[in-house]
């Protein structure tokens, strides 16, 4: 199984979790919420064949003090091929720091420009604005994690060559099911978003979406093959 968005650093026993996944041959891309979290976790994934750690700056954690984390982001960006979780969140609780989020994301996308990375993005209530920024900075290799935005925006996201990571909770909601139906099978990846998602079985997602494991592997291989293609 391939889990493209998991917060294993937030698990009760993260080292045991990734060790068991490695033994099963599962691939996990671990998100981090802050660059300092990535720095703390780097040493714990060294030596693993199938476990990777992404460098993140979660939009919900953007504050006036984020400048220190952003300095660290710039220092660490070449330590991994994976970026996440980054993005925008304009839901009610986080709308007051909208401008700070946009400024932070602009800094991140400027740092990433010209670099070959796989990027997992958070887009809650900010899907249009996020897509506009990704387009402005010509950001490649993006995965829209747990997309819940307008169906009308999906084609524009697909036109950029982006992917969608689908979890079990999406499969169980009416809106999530509509989104899944609108995404071509070759642009679907799986995610657990554990431990923040109680419904996190990848097997259940695969069964509900109706995709064979070989198709999901092919999708993932197609995406990561881009890491070997230099930016133009």
Reported as a single tens digit per residue, the pLDDT across 3-38 is 999 999 999 999 999 999 999 999 999 999 999 999
Q: What value does the mean pLDDT of the chain take?
A: 95
> How much is the average pLDDT of 67-74?
95
What gap in Å lies between CA 123 and CA 77, rounded to an integer?
21
Q: Is the pLDDT of residue 232 over 60?
A: no
The separation between the first and the last C-alpha atoms of the chain, rounded to the nearest angstrom, is: 32
The range of the structural domain enclosing residue 62 comes to: 2-228
> How much is the average pLDDT of 64-70?
91
Residue 32 — φ and ψ, nearest 5°? -130, 155
What 3-state DSSP class applies to 210? coil
Domain count, the chain: 1
Q: Residue 114 CB: number of other CB atoms within 10 A?
A: 11
Reported as a single tens digit per residue, the pLDDT across 128-160 is 999 999 999 999 999 999 999 999 999 999 999
Cβ 38 vs Cβ 77: under 8 Å? no
Claim: this prediction has a pTM higher than 0.85: yes
Q: Which residues contact 131 (CB under 8 A, 6 or more apart)?
A: 123, 153, 156, 157, 160
Percent of the chain with pLDDT over 70: 98
Instruction: State the CATH number of the domain containing residue 163.
Output: 3.20.20.140
């Amino acid at each position: 199984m391939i889990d493209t968005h998991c917060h294993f650093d937030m698990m009760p026993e993260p080292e045991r979790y990734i060790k068991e996944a490695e033994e099963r041959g599962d691939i996990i891309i671990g998100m981090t919420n802050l660059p300092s979290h990535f720095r703390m976790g780097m040493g714990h994934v060294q030596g693993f064949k199938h476990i990777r750690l992404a460098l993140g700056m979660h939009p919900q954690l953007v504050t006036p003090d984020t400048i220190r984390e952003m300095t660290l982001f710039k220092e660490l960006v070449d330590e991994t091929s994976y970026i996440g979780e980054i993005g925008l969140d304009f839901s009610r609780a986080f709308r007051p720091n909208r401008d700070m989020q946009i400024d932070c994301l602009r800094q991140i996308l400027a740092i990433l420009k010209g670099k070959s990375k796989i990027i997992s993005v958070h887009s809650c209530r900010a899907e249009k604005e996020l897509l506009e920024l990704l387009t402005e900075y010509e950001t490649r290799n993006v995965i829209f994690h747990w997309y819940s935005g307008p169906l009308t925006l999906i084609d524009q996201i697909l036109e950029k060559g982006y992917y969608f990571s689908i979890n079990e909770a999406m499969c169980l909601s009416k809106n999530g099911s509509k989104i899944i139906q609108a995404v071509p099978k070759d642009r679907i990846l799986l995610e657990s978003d554990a431990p923040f998602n109680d419904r996190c079985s990848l097997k259940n997602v695969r069964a509900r979406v109706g995709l064979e494991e070989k198709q999901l592997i092919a999708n993932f291989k197609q995406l990561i093959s881009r890491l070997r293609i230099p930016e133009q």
